Structure 1
Amino acid sequence: MGYVIGNIYVITTVAVIGGALFGFDIASMSAILGTQQYKCFFNQTGHGDDGSCGGPTSSTQGGISAAMPGGSFVGALISGIVTDWLGRRMAIQTGSVIWCIGSAIVCSSFSIAQLVVGRFINGLSVGILSAQVPVYVAELAQPSRRGQVVGAQQWAITWGILIMFYISYGSSFLAGNAAWRLPWGLQMIPAVFLFGMVFLLPESPRWLAKHDRWEEAHEVLALVHSKGDKNAPFVQTELQEIRDMVEFERANSDASYLDLFKGNMIYRTHIGMFTQIWSQLTGMNVMMLYITYVFGMAGLSGNANLVASSIQYVINVVMTIFALLFIDRWGRRTPLLVGSTLMMTFMFANGGIMASYGKPAPPGGLNHVPEESWDLSDAPSAAKGVIACTYLFVASFAPTWGPVSWIYPPELYPLRLRGKAVAVSTASNWVFNFALSYFVPPAFENIKWKTYLVFGVFCFAMTVHVFFAFPETAGKTLEDVETMFNTPGMKPWKTKVQYHHVRQLETGALQSEKMADLQAEAGTRAPDKEAGAATHTE
């Protein structure tokens, strides 16, 4: 194979740069849209009494922001075809090339139309990468580390947000159009690095197996799980389980998008889609993308607003670390339930504070920004309360819905449908991201503080939905998850995390038992017979 990186953490570090690109877009848009250089170049609303520019109208800004998730929706859908055809690695490289094209168009924009087109192309890239990077690392990782490495996608997003926000903030001090052209140009650099480094990464062993490249699949499993030892018990077990699953799926049907909505597969499809839909309806990306509007209503402006906004990006990075350390022990259900409950609390708190202590802003909004339509300047303590609840909201999202929304979908589906299924799930994310990006500026302008109540209600609804419909997948191999879903009478609220069991399996404590089973059942075992001790519901 030539030189190929085998350390799963190094592989993950390279692959999740694709997630960082999404973070770059969020942060650059958030930081840039509040600068006078950007507002004056794309000005549609005239000038204030002090000569400042009003920038694009709220609906136009919503369209500019929504262009990226609109492209991401399309990119996520086509990613399922791209990844099944070219492989996980080449899908990632394709996304990298598209990102550079979009960034070149954006940073050279001379009109709103060109800016929208460039951001749409950037979105195509983000859609491909956000759908297929989690699939790639999930198919390479050991079960006990799967949540950790897939969750690194979210951590990369938070780092991308933080880094690009400060680059954009620093660029805001430059004169003229360089203030926004520079950060949008610099974001090409990590995509170039990602494209080159992917040549040193192994292909997914499950994709290789699906295409009958069994020797290569065996080599990759040995490289990643046992430092090249093809005879390691866990490698042998994993290879056999993949072989059984591939043979079973070929004997039953070919994969198509329609299969996701047939029979009992529609249940899993709806879980994957709603994991991504609910992650958007928490309101987190609204908080990140339009945080300058929120803090503007709390009385902050100029550099003070940008610095205060950046604090929540630091919180986002730091709090995500807890998920990376503990998510495979916590599982999937508990973080989702705890996170949505806390976020609901802080959304309702923000709405209540604004309604009780604020007042409508003057016509045209605070700081000549129509979206800053509510005024807390006469209640500094209440304004601090809004800022604090916003920070606490971010701290609640970061270790829960943030990483789990990327970890969970790739675990839900059989191999034959995984690429397409995760593409559909991720496309659901981008549809709602698009809608919210377009909806929020007019919402702040028209329904003001009630915008918080809308998201608070969504957080309540997702708590109920997760409790009754989302089973636990942590502590199981991807093949064992398939067995769980095929178990009659499976009740999601009774499924358990089995982290310690799967760690024993990986370290060899259960290998003799598993190998004995394989030898006894060689050539006869079907995937629905794999439940064994590794997966059960109570």
Structure 2
Amino acid sequence: MYTVGNIYVITAVAVIGGGLFGFDIASMSAIISTEPYLCYFNQIQGDDVNKCYGPKPDVQGGITAAMPGGSWLGALISGYLSDKLGRKRSIQVGAIIWCIGSIIVCASQNIAMLAVGRIINGFSVGICSAQVPVYLSEIAPPSKRGRMVGCQQWAITWGIMIMFYISYGTASIKGTAAFRIPWGLQMVPAILLFVFLLFLPESPRWLARQDRWEEARNVLVLVHAKGDVDSPFVALELAEIKATVDFERQNADVTYMELLKPGMINRTHVGIFMQIWSQLTGMNVMMYYISYVFTMANVGSAVLLSSSIQYIINVVMTIPALIWVDRWGRRPTLLVGAALMATWMFANAGLVATYSRAPRPGEFDNAAESFSISGKPATALIACTYLFVASYAPTWGPVSWIYPPELYPLRVRGKAVALATSSNWAFNFALAYFVPPAFANITWKVYILFGVFCTVMFIHVFFMFPETASKTLEEIENIFDDSTPGALRLIGTPAWKTRVNRDIHHTESGNVDPDKLATLNAYHAEDKTAGLSDEAPKV
């Protein structure tokens, strides 16, 4: 039925959906300072009639923000789409939409057409960015779940770097081909994503919820047991999935309002703030407008090349998280990342406040380029910017995608992750629109603002974000159960008391607790209300 069962191959294909987001970021950040773009979409009449100044700062903010604006809507809708069509097919729908948006962007005749195309592209990114983590979290073994879902972030970094260098290579082309070529090439990964997904299995948990039990078992055997139909771990996992489905069938069809009920409100707030804080670190702002920062640091004609170094850092520094995030745990990774990012943001604020000056008339082309810094302070500013990226890449970058799908029960996971991801895009939209006028009006205080955000998120994670690493998705349910001894009302187990499950490797190797499996099977044998004895295979 399925030709691919290797979890690494499945992940490599699925995270192409994340790569689309990276392609979009770089296709804008690398192009907005090039002459063909500035001249074709020019709105500003400067002193030099032979020079193009490009769109106005607020209009450029709107062009950039069009993509996350569309992503916000796409993420919200993806929950319904995923529950109806399945995780895999919803990602394929996103790939088709991306191609449509890319055609419009590539053919843009004016700013309005460009913005519409980016909204459509964003709609696709919203679907894929919400449902790729759900798909991978539901199909990956618990001990590798963080690594697999974290590859979403790694794919984003690769997409950024690849598209940046494509755009850098075409920047010297005369005329509109300089930006139309990279915008057209954006379609290639989406086409590959759609085709390769045809050969991948569907999420076993989604299949189980559709009463397609034999298919669900086949996927678990294929992906988690290398074809061993007698695997004790598959038997335990299927039994736990049955217990979850059994309970959920006693509830009505889920709506977004269920996420606000007492038993769900805490994890809803954690998932939403996970995505909000990932934006308020300031990382995506760095990616979108890094060329402004390096222009103000007076690196001259090497702006694009200097900017590209951070993309390489982003790719390389994501690798440690992919290898060790399941061993480190989610909480320590987030806490260390927040502390380091706050340090570099405050350092940048201090450097610019102390050593920068207002630009001279005609020194820079854009009002958002509102200060000038040179010499050793400029070198330190660039170094702190690189260090910020190196701190984000192995921490908040991958964990922001890993964490939300782990928090929710099966019946609400699609919609809950969609809601959390939509908050990411809402803040992405706001920040993309806010940063150019912010640099123009409050200059170095922008760094102070993001430094404060990083400090607050450190405190929030310590008190409210529980550890979920190396636990089955069904086991994580117990963390939020506020009826257990020592639990807090509406919260469950205090976050600072949760730990990484170090025994999951033994369980996946077949060392299953026979009493636990027997208890689950006895429960299913006795239960007559959910109809599982008729629908689900025996384990």
Please name the residue that 1:124 is paired with: 123
Contact 1:234 1:511 in 2 (8 A): no
Please name the residue that 1:317 is paired with: 315
Contact 1:76 1:423 in 2 (8 A): yes
Note the C-alpha offset of 1:369: 1.7
1:439-496 deviations in whole A, cap 9, x for unaligned?
Answer: 0000011111111001001001101111110000012100000122114311101100
Contact 1:48 1:54 in 2 (8 A): no
Letter in 2 for 1:497: V
Contact 1:244 1:525 in 2 (8 A): no
Supply the distance in 2 between the matched residues of 1:282 and 1:515 (Cα, whole angstroms).
43
TM-score w.r.t. the length of structure 1 is 0.95
Contact 2:144 2:470 in 1 (8 A): no
Letter in 1 for 2:511: A
Match of 2:505 among 492, 503, 514: 503
Note the C-alpha offset of 1:252: 3.3
Letter in 1 for 2:334: L
Please name the residue that 1:493 is paired with: 496
Please name the residue that 1:206 is paired with: 205
Supply the distance in 1 between the matched residues of 2:520 and 2:65 (Cα, whole angstroms).
52
Please name the residue that 2:398 is paired with: 403
Superposition map of 1:31-430 within 5 A = 31-47=30-46, 49=48, 51-302=50-301, 304-363=302-361, 366-377=363-374, 380-430=375-425
Aligned length: 520
Local SS of the residue matching 1:227: coil
Supply the distance in 2 between the matched residues of 1:262 and 1:361 (Cα, whole angstroms).
53
Identity %: 62
Contact 2:26 2:287 in 1 (8 A): yes
1:161-188 deviations in whole A, cap 9, x for unaligned?
Answer: 0000000000101110000000000010
Segments of 5+ residues of structure 1 without an aligned counterpart are 527-538
Local SS of the residue matching 2:364: helix
Supply the distance in 1 between the matched residues of 2:185 and 2:17 (Cα, whole angstroms).
15
Supply the distance in 2 between the matched residues of 1:215 and 1:468 (Cα, whole angstroms).
42
Supply the distance in 1 between the matched residues of 2:81 and 2:524 (Cα, whole angstroms).
34
Note the C-alpha offset of 1:360: 1.2
Please name the residue that 2:536 is paired with: none
Supply the distance in 2 between the matched residues of 1:513 and 1:170 (Cα, whole angstroms).
62
Supply the distance in 1 between the matched residues of 2:111 and 2:468 (Cα, whole angstroms).
45
Note the C-alpha offset of 1:363: 4.5
Match of 1:466 among 461, 466, 491: 461
Letter in 2 for 1:342: L
Contact 2:157 2:314 in 1 (8 A): yes
Supply the distance in 2 between the matched residues of 1:46 and 1:160 (Cα, whole angstroms).
35
Supply the distance in 1 between the matched residues of 2:3 and 2:243 (Cα, whole angstroms).
27
Note the C-alpha offset of 1:520: 4.8
Q: Give me the CA root mean square deviation.
A: 1.4
Contact 1:342 1:393 in 2 (8 A): yes
Please name the residue that 1:529 is paired with: none
Letter in 2 for 1:240: A
Letter in 1 for 2:260: F
Letter in 2 for 1:505: T
Note the C-alpha offset of 1:508: 1.6
Local SS of the residue matching 1:411: helix
Supply the distance in 2 between the matched residues of 1:271 and 1:521 (Cα, whole angstroms).
32
Contact 1:62 1:437 in 2 (8 A): yes
Q: Does 1:476 align with 2:471?
A: yes
Please name the residue that 2:533 is paired with: none
Superposition map of 1:7-46 within 5 A = 7-46=6-45
CA separation of 1:435/1:363 partners in 2, compared to 1, >3 Å: closer, same or farther? Answer: farther
Note the C-alpha offset of 1:521: 4.3
Letter in 1 for 2:192: F
Contact 1:376 1:383 in 2 (8 A): yes
Supply the distance in 1 between the matched residues of 2:77 and 2:524 (Cα, whole angstroms).
38
Q: Does 1:5 align with 2:4?
A: yes
